[in-house]
Structure 1
């Protein structure tokens, strides 16, 4: 089936498995025509559900491949992807960086591009996060110079600073309306009590994650009247979500599970709390948008087994939002209590908002940079 009809404009295959990458893919798909590009988004869940909810054209990976979902033989998946890429005269592929625990459409299309001899790009969703081993692209699209430096040290591919694709679209969102949506879902019509949003991660298998959840419950009991909601990560299982909720409620806190788009969730929160989630970056970019609510970003960056999980993955020793003077970091239960106490102050929210605008306001227009770079690479490849 010819999903990318031949024409003079460049044809791009975009892939995503995770919601973070899906936001970047959506920005490219929605802006492709203006840059004389034709894009097909080939996705797996949870990215598939995200794009469907947002109304972005896409195709399920299994349908694109013409194979049953969860096919065991990954070599067959790569071969099918390679044949489609060649037959459709694809100019380049742009893929996500999905977890390596299970083979994904990201990996299959990256391998197929290498075999077909066409340019490949990976969208980096977190500073320094690169594909391990042989699954390497030609280029990485990265957030800033720090991400480029980390990527150069950890991969042979070329990093290109373009800013954040998905966040370039935040200027089009009405975050005040999204705040009302989130708070109505919480049955809060006004700003009568502070709202803390805990943004979960698929980490309940790590012992230290439970310690953090228990600490949050105990600290909020001490801080006084607050509303706590829990926004699960799309990859969390039902068992993981149930465990997280029970730990957050351990000290009598009544936690609401908030099932709204992540943009509505961050807008609803006075404090955006996580261990090291990219939702902190979402909140930072939100505060660069005109009229957006101000929120405090807090990272519970402990204990050591959690730090040992994400530090080697990125090459970082500290979360950049902390080193940039935006977010607050906690290294134990005592400092988490201090950070949450400080984060409840409207002056702290305003300070963080001002810092976000200082750091990120010049990094907004990234889709144009991405398409210009891709077109340049494709032209160079064709003229070899």
Structure 2
């Protein structure tokens, strides 16, 4: 098969990498990977050798830059003549190479959906099939997009089976010099424009300060957070000098996650990463916590995210903290031995091993593509007759 993979966002790159790598190992396949920043750097570090797309993401479909991006995507489609396009999911609001490829490709298209029910409608191009994490994502896609889905699982997390989690924990906590204290992490998202995001961080800082046994705070920014956003978050986190904050800007995300006893974010994929680290850990590792303490933030994001349907909430893979909850009490419970064990047990009970996810997904793509070719041939024969 001739395949084009694409990615713009960091999470998309992590899902594209195992599929593209496995596809490229088959000599019958011709694989091309197109990427924008920050995905380009992540894929390059993974040894994928992507093509860098210089055209930046665009803010409106009618912008002249959008036409340039679509022309770029059409060039690669024309040059490679793919049998299938597998695009990463990028956050709504801007259009990038993923959305452009979905728009211009005449072959079957597949969206690697790394977050439940999400689709970027920038060019209004719905993929032929959503490749999704689980049954909850498939149902959300039916409700929201009326689209077909294939449950692939989470190929991004198969590599966790090879991690020496206890050794990484010892090393990372030694680097932080926190071998005997607990660590709580804030994992940022590029949501500073959303009403209530700043308020959530302020609520979180106040709650951490009120804990009897104060943990060390780490901050791991999202790759899409700008320098200004990172500095804004740091200023909020360090407002009280009594709580030490370590800025882990250049740390691999897995090292930062494994260092933590409690992983906190709004609704980042890092929470799912932390759940899968619990899945592979031989003992309780960390408590993932989704902090949604601002009603303004909830009101803004709820039309886009079905919070109640997410496994974080539905399967208790993460503790979801709402405006009516006591944030300090919830964090104290998450850091307790009972909270850590609960998160660990839920991950083991509800998550599925992703070992075969990439291989099974590629088989599905091949079968779907071959069926599409046969359908086209049948139509041609009918028209000829």
Same fold (TM over 0.5): yes
- Residues 56-82 of structure 1 show CA distances to partners (whole Å, capped at 9, x for unaligned) of 3212113xxxxx656953223323322
Distance 2:32 2:182 in 1: 42
Gap regions ≥5 residues in structure 2 = 59-63, 376-385
- Residues 62-114 of structure 1 show CA distances to partners (whole Å, capped at 9, x for unaligned) of 3xxxxx6569532233233223313322111011221333321111111121x
Distance 1:304 1:153 in 2: 25
What are the residue-to-residue correspondences of 1:1-384 with 2, within 5 Å?
10-34=1-25, 36-62=28-54, 72-113=64-105, 117-132=106-121, 134-188=124-178, 190=179, 192-223=180-211, 224-252=213-241, 253-258=243-248, 259-291=250-282, 294-317=285-308, 319-332=310-323, 335-384=326-375
Report if aligned partners of 1:182, 1:260 keep a CA contact under 8 Å in 2.
Answer: no
- Counterpart secondary structure, 2:131: strand
Distance 2:278 2:271 in 1: 11
Report if aligned partners of 2:92, 2:119 keep a CA contact under 8 Å in 1.
Answer: no
TM-score (ref. length: structure 2): 0.88
* Alpha-carbon shift at residue 150 of structure 1 (Å): 0.4
Higher mean C-alpha displacement, 209-218 vs 79-88: 79-88
* Alpha-carbon shift at residue 313 of structure 1 (Å): 1.4
RMSD: 2.1
Gap regions ≥5 residues in structure 1 = 1-9, 63-67
Distance 1:236 1:41 in 2: 24
Distance 2:195 2:305 in 1: 21
* Alpha-carbon shift at residue 334 of structure 1 (Å): 5.3
Distance 1:101 1:138 in 2: 22
Distance 1:118 1:270 in 2: 46
Distance 2:96 2:342 in 1: 41
* Alpha-carbon shift at residue 196 of structure 1 (Å): 0.4
Report if aligned partners of 2:283, 2:344 keep a CA contact under 8 Å in 1.
Answer: no
Higher mean C-alpha displacement, 267-276 vs 81-90: 81-90
Q: 1:202 to 1:371 in 2, by over 3 A?
A: same
- Counterpart secondary structure, 1:87: helix
* Alpha-carbon shift at residue 217 of structure 1 (Å): 1.7
Say how many residue pairs are matched. Answer: 365
Distance 2:30 2:296 in 1: 44
Higher mean C-alpha displacement, 310-319 vs 223-232: 310-319
Distance 1:293 1:286 in 2: 10
* Alpha-carbon shift at residue 125 of structure 1 (Å): 1.1
Q: Specify the alignment match of 1:7 in structure 2.
A: none
Report if aligned partners of 2:284, 2:341 keep a CA contact under 8 Å in 1.
Answer: no
- Counterpart secondary structure, 2:3: strand
Report if aligned partners of 1:276, 1:319 keep a CA contact under 8 Å in 2.
Answer: no
Report if aligned partners of 1:270, 1:344 keep a CA contact under 8 Å in 2.
Answer: yes
TM-score (ref. length: structure 1): 0.89
Q: Specify the alignment match of 2:380 in structure 1.
A: none
